[in-house]
Copies of this chain bind each other. A is one copy, B any other.
Amino acid sequence: MINKTVHSVKEALEGVSSGMTLMLGGFGLCGIPENAISELVRLGSSDLTCISNNAGVDDFGLGLLLQQKQIKTMIASYVGENAEFEQQMLSGELEVILTPQGTLAEKCRAAQAGIPAFFTPAGFGTEVATGKENRSFHGKNYVMEEAYQADFAFVKAWKGDVTGNLIFKGTARNFNPLMCGAAKVTVAEVEELVPAGELDPNQIHVPGILVNRIFQGQDYEKRIEQRTLRNI
């Protein structure tokens, strides 16, 4: 049994420095690595390239890094919830690379799985395909996309064990499993860290081999972006 536990978020982020490329799990504010983001703010690393489906909101999630102007380049599929983001993008301080959501997911998965490139139909005939190889298979047109290369991946799981095995809950899964093992170092924070053997080996979403460091997260806010209710 290989133990991946680290005992603080500080230890978990050891080695992070300015100029690095980071992957961050989550969809909107759902399933984001809250503890890692707080620590990134505290560290103050700058000129970061962040790969994440969204860019948080003004005062939460990646918005916290944007407030501090720590992000140089944002790679995302949708960034519409953030006024600070808008301002920095319009002023040219922030470079934004918009990527179709499925392509973003597959580029992470490709990095995890040692696939350097693949073909997808998404974006063919649009500006997303500009400068990329286009090719036809069986009469349909595709764009070649390459795997991401990143230094750190920060993910958040529901439960994890000390060997790094992870289990997610609901739609908080999203990009998190795909980013594990897709960067040089994968850091997982979990709501509940359990001993090896407590999780059913049939029900592991991410095997521990894809996680380098795991820690018990704290003080999860789990903010809801659009609380939408049904009338009784």
Q: Which positions in A face B, CB cutoff 8 Å?
A: 106, 110, 113-121, 135, 137-138, 140, 142, 146, 149, 167-170, 202-203
- Complex contacts, A119 vs chain B, CB 8 Å: 115-118
Min Cβ gap A191→B in Å is 13
Task: Please name all residues of chain B whose beta carbon is closer than 8 Å to the beta carbon of A121 when the two chains form the complex.
Answer: 114
CA distance A137 to B133 in the complex (A): 14
Distance in angstroms between the alpha carbons of A38 and B51 in the assembled complex:
49
CB distance from A207 to the nearest CB of B (A): 12
Task: Please state if A117 and B146 are interface contacts (CB–CB under 8 Å).
Answer: no
27 A-B interface contacts by CB (under 8 A): A106-B113, A106-B115, A110-B118, A114-B120, A114-B121, A115-B118, A115-B119, A115-B120, A116-B119, A116-B137, A116-B138, A116-B140, A116-B142, A117-B118, A117-B119, A117-B135, A117-B137, A117-B142, A118-B118, A118-B119, A137-B146, A138-B149, A167-B202, A168-B202, A169-B202, A170-B202, A203-B203
In the bound complex, how far is the Cα of B119 from the Cα of A115, in angstroms? Answer: 6
A120 CB to closest chain B CB (Å) equals 7
Chain B residues, CB < 8 A from A202: 167-170
Question: Which residues of chain B come closer than 8 Å to A146, judged between CB atoms?
Answer: 137
